Chain A
Amino acid sequence: MNFITEHLLFLILFTPALAAVIMLFLPNGENRLFRWFAFGVSFIPLALSLVVWFDFRAAQPGFQFQESYTWYEAIGSSLHLGVDGLSLSMVLLTTLLTPLALLASFGINEKVKAYMMLFLFLETGMLGVFMALDLLIFFVFWEVGLVPMYFLINQWGSANRNYASLKFMIYTMGGSLGLLLAVQLLGVLFGTFDLVTLYERWNALGASDTLLGMSAGTVKTIAFWAFVIAFAVKVPLWPFHTWLPDAHTEAPTAGSMILAGVLLKLGAYGFLRLILPLYPVEAKYFAGALAFLATAAIVFGAFASYAQTDFKRLVAYSSVNHMGFVVLGIAAAAFAAGTTDATLALNGAILQMFNHGLSAAGMFFLVGVIYERTHTRNLEEFGGLFPLVPVYGGILIFTSMASLGLPGLNGFISEFLVVRGSYPILTAYTAISMLGLLFTGAYILKGIKKVLHGPMNEHWAHGEHKLTEISTREILVMAPLMVLILWIGIYPAWILDVINKAVVMLF
């Protein structure tokens, strides 16, 4: 037991990868075994992260559950793990969504073993980013997560998967090039990649110091934009967002769930963990530009979503819209760090990350449920399905409303906090983003209208095309998401308190 309690984060991080390696040695062709094995194993990180959640002392400053292992001594990098309120909520989101995504994947029948292995590797990759307290480790996991996702899209995706997976891979890697250089720069300058040390020493450099023959201010500005672009591609921020609708749409259902649920959060997490603490001056200086891009994402994301005829693309674009609020909150906080408004904006932004993880994963799953049965995502071919699948319809409306930000459900709390926090700081941008909020309603209602409402759809009502109701397994995927959506909507304090304390201490 001691071993477990002392190495909690290490175990959470590497159990999925270890399980994936074990799976390699399982006999081939046992699809049921692969599914249940991967699904079962994914509960270990979930259980352990719940242990961490309940043992976590929200009021205590700094990182907790820290562990450090020698990794690459020569260049001063070590496997340093730790969590605070910010990363812990993301870890919990990841360990929660992975079992659900695996359960959602029970319908996969091709190359099940490889699929499940990739998924488990993916979980390790994502968790590593959230837990890393070493810049190089952060980068390594950042890139590691790409590979399984590339193959998941490329091998199990739908028609246009080659284009989408390549775009996803190249775009994200291209975006990360600058990040890699900037990370190296920091490492070379200070002889260590340890984040806790870097926070202090990097910020101790004044703008008048010289680095590499240039003023520290210039170097920092360049490094700042290198970081921003890498994370902006991932979030994704307008105009770096066009990989997202392709990747999300072509990915298999569970892949989309994780992409929207967790992978996008990596970008936002990068903003919070690295950019705000490492570049407070630059972030403040460029907050207006960030807010502009965020507002563009909110507004254009909503409009683009409304323009779609493909159900999954509609949901995909909604992510651009929702993640815009995260960045808007971050921009506001960057501009007025330390104020109550900034705290509220960040509380909202981080909660929005968690909330979007729940609702977007749910929405993608629901799109998958109907796609699996009809083999089409074209909204024009749906309509009038409500009488055929009432339970599915109810769940879809519920989840859609969470995505719409209906008060009483989770999305409202976070969007309200972002709007409240940003309003005094970035009044014009906040006001313009309301246009996006309005059109969030438009595309959500369009989705419901085009899928459920209208005269009963005869095509899917009879014979070989008969649409079947959502199954128990599928309801089980949705149930935890729906409970959390409602719970956070009614009483958000249980998670917001952890986030709030972290925000107060961090920024």
Chain B
Amino acid sequence: MTTTTLIWLIPLPPVLAFFLIVLFTNRSKWLSHTIAVGAALLSWLGSMIVFVRALGVEHLGEEPFESSINWLPTGDTWFRVGVLVDPLTAAVLFFVAWTVLMIFLYSVGYHNFGQPEGDHDHKGLSPHGATVDEHGHKHVVPSVEPMYSRFFAFIGLFAFGMYTLVVSDNLLTLFVGWEIMGLCSYLLIGFWYAKPSARDAAIKAFMTTRVGDVFMLLGIAYLYYATGTLSFRQIFTEQVLHTLATVPSGFLGFSAAGLIGLLLFIGTIGKSAQFPLHVWLPDAMEGPTPVSAMIHAATMVSAGVYAVIRMFPLISLDEKTMAIVAFIGAFTAIFAATIAVAQNDIKRVLAYSTISQLGFMIAALGMHAYIAAVFHLITHAFFKALLFLGSGSVIHGMEHGVLHTGNHHVDPQDMFNMGGLRKKMPITFWTFLIGGFALSGFPLVTAGFWSKDEIFADAFANGYIVIFITLALAAFLTAFYTMRQITLTFLGEPRTDEAEHAQETPWTMTTPLVILAVFAIGYGWVGIPEDFMGLHLQPNWFHEFVGGTLAEHPETIAFNWIPLLTSLVVALGGLYLGWLTYRNVNSAAEDRLQIPLLKNKYYFDEAYDFLFVKPATWFAEIFVYQWMDKGLIDGILHIFGPATQGLGSVIRNYFDVPVINRFFGDGSADVTYGVGARLRAIQTGRIQQYLMFALVIFIVIGAALYFFLRA
């Protein structure tokens, strides 16, 4: 099979799985997950083959795998869509394939496949456990998800969206994949739709990202108009880029490239949950945990960053846009990190950490640190997927404890209810530790260290000192809250009975953890700078490979001790301080960082509700519908009815009745009647009288005739 055919086929298995499950196999749980996991495996296989073949091409950047077909007729020409695998795509395809496959496999265990049906489980609610009779005594075990098949259908569609986005050779099909993921995130965040919080979170996610999407759509329209194409390879030619950079957009002094870049970037702000559109992501934790991993690590939020990376040659043309990008990224990185410090829900900590880490990538892009952004995108995808799946495993273990004790008031996601889980769930613990250290940038061994270090090095070398300091602070907070999380969850002694009875999760869940942990460490080694610490190591493979995507290969940055030392200090210092602070904290009350401002996420939800949601609802319900449509427009229309009736009655009362009826109608009748009444006097009925009249008339007429005719 040729490579391009194979690339076309990569996204298809998951979408076929979606249709198969929805239309045919949804009654069989086993068949459904087999199809879905099998489809993910096929896509994974295709991706790996493409990846390996891509490695074998010397100048993949100049001669990528590409193929396209006519799609939309546009006047005399066609809009073409197709697939493209250049070094960037190949690198992204690699991590997407791995994380997606791991998430699919993990979902089997997470949704309790093989367990009995729940006693009181409803569709639309998470399973509550089933009572089983074993050796004469009853106990409660986890029950299988009632909408098991549906879940696999949805994540299949989700994977399709991501693969489509990655292999697209143009912005329009990228946007198609982008929005399909938006739909899937809506469906999956609201998977347990009977829970009002999940239902509202789903809508919030969809609407918030849609704010970004409509701007992005404008950007796409503008770009298409300005260049006549949306194909990456055709836009990223010197001539087109030069034109875009020099033509003014007429908007605040931006060049066309700047405005297009800005509009597209607003799409990313929504999708990658950057300030000020970050509000949806923490609420998105309402979804099942594999979904959180899917959305927040492997696919959707990565897609936002990927779009900026993809459009980097265009966006980087205008320094104003780049300044905005850098500012948003750096601000988000520190802002989200401060919130994460005060969260007690194990998944919410990770959610804010995701926002913060995405900020790192965006900030890197704003500083022209292209390769560092790609590198961090990939390492982050691995270790954040690992952390989310790990936290799901923890919650699962805790739920086991909850079922055991029967005390359903204990929140299995609250870290203050945990503690000491390292003994109960060793695999989860060690893998989570690896993920957490990678996130913190633990030196030398973890992937997160190498990618974060590269961002620091770039920021420092290019003189972005403010951003450098901001990111360093954010990195310190990252290490701090990560260690806080690890300490509260795994270290010390169990703080509740539930934690005491927590249990390690099945192999379908732990295997993905182990595999992802391997990447969370190993993937960093592909991007070690050649002159690290002044040594002469292997050439930086990642830099060489991904750098080939750009027309001009980015320069390597000379080694400098300052960013490296900063990186070491913030990572190790944060980790140590986190452990020190929380090793003896036993309840939320003892935690001195539970500041209301941070705990309530700087009151963004409340502010947005007051500023946007409420006014929009008022505008819709009262202004547009009640006042304008019902009041004004219908009011005017309703004047026509009475007005016509009024006109009618005027005509009737002042014309019809007096003139027509009284004068002509009644008048003529009166006249006739009067004449008749008077004539009645001569209608006597006597023959002699009639003859007398006849004679008189005869003589009169005869005389008249005689008189006139003779003359």
Contact = CB atoms under 8 A, between A and B. Distances in A.
B684 interface: no
Contact of B210 (A386, A423, A441, A504): A441
Interface stretch (B56-64, B107-115, B192-200, B565-573): B192-200
Contact of B633 (A242, A386, A434, A501): A242
Interface string B65-84: 00000111111100000000
A423 B625 contact: no
B119 interface: no
B562 to A, nearest CB: 45
Interface string A484-502: 0000000111001100110
Contacts of B215: 434
A446 B620 CA distance: 13
Given A416-B217, A434-B215, A438-B211, A453 B624 contact: no
A413 B172 CA distance: 10
Contacts of A492: 71-72
Contacts of A470: none
A423 B222 contact: yes
Nearest to A499: B73
A397 B186 CA distance: 11
B49 interface: no
B629 A304 contact: yes
A460 B707 CA distance: 103
Interface string A385-408: 011001000100100010000111
A245 B72 CA distance: 34
B122 interface: yes
A455 interface: yes
B159 to A, nearest CB: 14
Given A387-B122, A500-B75, A407 B176 contact: yes
Given A419-B218, A423-B221, A304 B75 contact: no
A303 B619 contact: yes
Contacts of A406: 179-180, 183
Interface residues of B, number: 55
A497 B73 contact: yes
A438 B619 contact: no
B194 A242 contact: no
B218 A423 contact: yes
A62 to B, nearest CB: 19
B123 A340 contact: no
B199 A417 contact: no
B643 to A, nearest CB: 13
A437 interface: yes
B616 to A, nearest CB: 8
Contacts of B190: 453
B614 to A, nearest CB: 13
B179 A343 contact: no
Given A242-B629, A304-B624, A493-B71, A437 B224 contact: no
A387 B620 contact: no
B194 A387 contact: yes
Interface string A366-391: 00000000000000000010110010
A507 to B, nearest CB: 11
A500 B74 contact: yes
A343 B620 contact: no
Nearest to B160: A408
A260 to B, nearest CB: 18
A167 interface: yes
B32 to A, nearest CB: 14
A442 interface: yes
A429 interface: no
B696 interface: no
Contact of A455 (B183, B194, B225): B194
Given A304-B625, A307-B621, A408-B180, A344 B206 contact: no
A386 B124 CA distance: 8
A300 B624 contact: yes
A439 B637 CA distance: 27
Contact of B75 (A344, A430, A455): A344
Contact of A306 (B74, B221, B620): B620
Contact of B217 (A413, A419, A453): A419
A153 B224 CA distance: 45
A344 B199 contact: no
Nearest to B217: A419
Given A453-B190, A500-B73, A242 B123 contact: no
A454 interface: yes
B175 interface: yes
Interface string A303-344: 110111000000000000000000000000000000011011
B625 A449 contact: no
A445 interface: yes
Contacts of A445: 186, 203, 206-207
A424 B225 contact: yes
Contacts of B616: 303, 306, 439, 442
B193 A454 contact: yes
Query: Which of B71, B211, B225, B617 has most A Cβ within 10 Å?
Result: B225
A452 interface: yes
Given A408-B176, A431-B218, A434-B217, A423 B123 contact: no
Interface string A15-38: 000000000000000000000000
A420 interface: yes
A456 B122 CA distance: 8
A431 B73 CA distance: 24
Interface string B201-221: 011001100110011011011
Interface string B616-644: 11011101111011000110010000000
B290 to A, nearest CB: 21
A347 interface: yes
A303 B193 contact: no
B598 interface: no
11 contacts: A303-B619, A303-B625, A340-B74, A390-B123, A412-B179, A420-B221, A441-B206, A442-B207, A442-B616, A453-B199, A504-B75
Given A306-B616, A439-B616, 18 more contacts: A242-B637, A300-B624, A300-B628, A303-B616, A303-B623, A304-B629, A306-B617, A397-B187, A406-B183, A419-B218, A423-B221, A430-B218, A439-B620, A441-B206, A452-B193, A453-B202, A455-B124, A455-B195
Q: Which 3 A-B pairs have the closest CB atoms?
A: A307-B625, A407-B176, A500-B73
